[in-house]
Amino acid sequence: MSAATSSTITVMRQHRSIRQFTEQTVSDEQRNAIMASAQAASSSSFLQASAVIRISDPNLRERVMALCGNQAYVGSAAEFWVFCADFHRHLQWVPEAKTGFAEQLLIGAIDTALMGQNALTAAESLGLGGVFIGAVRNQPHELCDLLRLPKGVIPLFGLCLGYPAQDPEPKPRLPSSLMFCENHYPSEFDARQMQDYDQQVQHYYRTRTGGNKEMSWTGQIGDTLAKEARPFMLDFLRQQGFCVR
């Protein structure tokens, strides 16, 4: 094996989002190993500002799926977990703690994202697949009521896990030269590399969809950032005790 590769690197570089799953369940041993791997992620100031809710009740899963745009894989995956930023736990044990600062939102989001990525990488190393679900933020007030999330807790993303029933091609990533900078941020990026990457992404979508989608990466940026997404989010965050100061 090369000094620049390992079984872990191989798993990480072969990542694909899986949205079709077999009916095979995830064992308790596997689930516990994935949870332990998630908890091993780095944590800012060791605050461990996250909570994970496993949705095991079928009826509750159906209701959560409805709030997530009825994405079928939220219901069909063997496991569905909701990852939350959590400062409510801290206030239970240290009531005088000062919360509500914008920086704490960043801490909670970063800690939780690191946990989520650890969980998915661990699952993939066991032969499972998964996909993150940002749609848990589509109707956050309703989801908070459904999952009984108190003030100080916000749902950030979901994670479907299970045995893959599909074998999609990995999405092409940006050339490393367009993402990794040395010493300073460049004044401009190479236009030719971006054009080549646009063509690569367009080819990926074309072959993946049988010609039904002809989207380039810059075209996708234009569509995604054409308007504000989830304009209710700031009010929701403040309602849950985040970004109030």
Please report, for the domain that includes residue 72, its CATH number: 3.40.109.10
pLDDT in tens, 154-180: 999 999 999 999 999 999 999 999 999
Query: Are residues 125 and 207 located together in one domain of the fold?
Result: no
Do 234 and 159 lie in one domain? The reply is: yes
Whether residues 193 and 97 share a domain: the answer is no
140 within a domain of the structure (yes/no): yes
Q: Are residues 118 and 85 in the same domain?
A: yes
- Do 103 and 190 belong together in one domain? no
Is 46 contained in some domain?
yes
User: Can you tell me whether residue 46 is helix, strand or coil?
Assistant: helix
The average pLDDT across 29-47 equals 98
Sign of CA dihedral 120, 90, 107, 234: positive
Do the domain assignments include residue 222? no
- What's the N-to-C CA distance of the chain in angstroms? 52
Which DSSP category does 79 fall into?
E
Q: Are residues 156 and 91 in the same domain?
A: yes
Average pLDDT over residues 49-62: 98
Give the range among 1-5, 63-67, 145-149 with minimum mean pLDDT: 1-5
In a domain, 57, yes or no: yes
Question: Which residues have C-beta within 8 Å of that of residue 182, sequence separation ≥ 6?
Answer: none
47 and 124 within one domain: yes
Number of compact structural domains in the chain: 2
Q: With CA atoms as reference, report the closest residue to 81 among 141, 179, 157, 134.
A: 157
Beta-ladder partners of 161: 79, 130
Question: Would you tell me how many other CB atoms lie within 10 Å of the CB of residue 218?
Answer: 13
Q: Does residue 184 share a domain with residue 147?
A: no
CA separation, residue 150 to residues 15, 47, 131 (Å): 34, 18, 26
Residue 220 lies in a domain: no
Domain presence at residue 15:
yes
Q: Is 208's pLDDT higher than 90?
A: no
Asked whether the beta carbons of 41 and 114 are under 8 A apart, the reply is yes
Look up the domain containing 105 and give its range: 9-168+228-239
Residue 196 and residue 84 share a domain: no
Element containing residue 154 per DSSP (H, E): strand 153-162
Given a cut of 90, whether residue 3 has pLDDT beyond it is no
Give the integer Cα–Cα distance in Å for 39 and 182: 32
| Same domain, yes or no: 163 and 180 | no
Query: 175: which 2 tokens?
Result: 């050339």
Residue pair 74/61 in contact (Cβ under 8 Å)? The answer is: yes
Do 122 and 188 lie in one domain? The reply is: no
Dihedral (Cα; 133, 137, 142, 144), 10-degree rounding: 90
What confidence score (pLDDT) does residue 1 get?
63
Task: Give the tens place of pLDDT for each residue, 115-138.
Answer: 999 999 999 999 999 999 999 999
52 lies in some domain: yes
- SS3 letters for 179-195? CCCCCCCCCCCCHHHHH
Is residue 192 domain-shared with residue 109, that is, in the same domain? no
Query: Is residue 204 domain-resident?
Result: yes
* Mean pLDDT to the nearest integer, 197-221: 93
